[in-house]
Amino acid sequence: MKQIIAIQEDFARIDTFLSKELNLPKNQILGLIKHSLILINDKICHKGGIPIKKNDQITILNPKQPIKPQKETKTHLDIEIIYEDDDILILNKPSNLVVHGAPSVKDETLVDWLKAKNFTLSNLSGEERYGIVHRLDKDTTGGIIIAKNNISHANLSMQLQSKTLGRYYLTIIDCPIKDSIIIECQLGRNPRNRLKMTKLDHQQSVTSRYSKSLFIPLLTNEQKNIQLIAVKLFTGRTHQIRAHLESISRHIIGDQTYGYHGNFKGRILLHAYLIYLIHPTTKKNLLFKASIFDDMLEFLETNFGKEKINEILQKPEFLLNIS
């Protein structure tokens, strides 16, 4: 599979053109060029600064098929595959799992699992991210999208930008909200705690980024002063849900980093429940549901009632009509 783009006018640099055309960061385009996956008029492009001219033809290739190991690589992880075809892979990420590696990460990552399973995946974001379209925090569970080729990766990245790809989360907070609320602000690194993100005035940090979330109350336990809410993401910033809630003095149950002070000693109860997207090849509208893990499900049933929780989980599509 490959993508071909016919050039309609002259451009000074191919990396700048493709960054705008595919709506991707320039470093991802340079990664494609580094791996000889960009051709100009059927010749390999070696530099991002090469000019392109009207009537040129750019070809974007998929990564090469990985070498099959003689025997399957060992992995200690057990990850549910929600859906898989030639273009996309939808997984249900468990808690205590980092998506991709870093110098400080010693444990097996989701990318390590993907490599161990020998999937043929996109390298559009570089080999260390291995098909990852978006990320989830280490202790956040739920649906995550993996691209199996570069064409699909570019398409899904554009869908993230255009909002035709989106996610709904379920979480429990320690202080109920009365009505649905949209929070939008500039998010940046907290100057007093580098482990946290925080709401910033744009002037406070040149590295802050616009963020927007919708918070929807679902079930409330008045006695315990806790509430099940749904969250729709319009942007996907680091710690976005947690930082937005902190900005209105709410915290997710189990989130010690952002200030939860209750008695619950488990992990943060935040789950990416629904993913909707347009399939990169078939163009069909798809909706995927990631089953809630037992620890969070037990908390929900104990504190809100099994019948009420089942009613919400069995008909999650109603969330798509809330915006």
**Residue 102 CB contacts under 8 Å (≥ 6 apart), including other chains:** none
Phi and psi torsions of 204, nearest 5°: -75, -25
Question: For 73-192, where are the E strands, in sequence order?
Answer: 80-84, 88-93, 141-147, 166-173, 181-190
Give the strand pairing for 43-44 and 57-61: unpaired
Q: Where are the alpha helices (DSSP H) in the chain?
A: 14-22, 26-34, 110-116, 150-162, 240-247, 294-304, 306-314
Helix or strand holding residue 230 (H, E): strand 226-233
Helix 26-34 / helix 14-22 crossing angle, nearest 10 deg: 120
Encoded tokens for 156:
């899904």
CA distance 111 to 98: 9
Residues with catalytic annotation?
A: 137
Please, where are the H alpha helices in 259-319?
294-304, 306-314
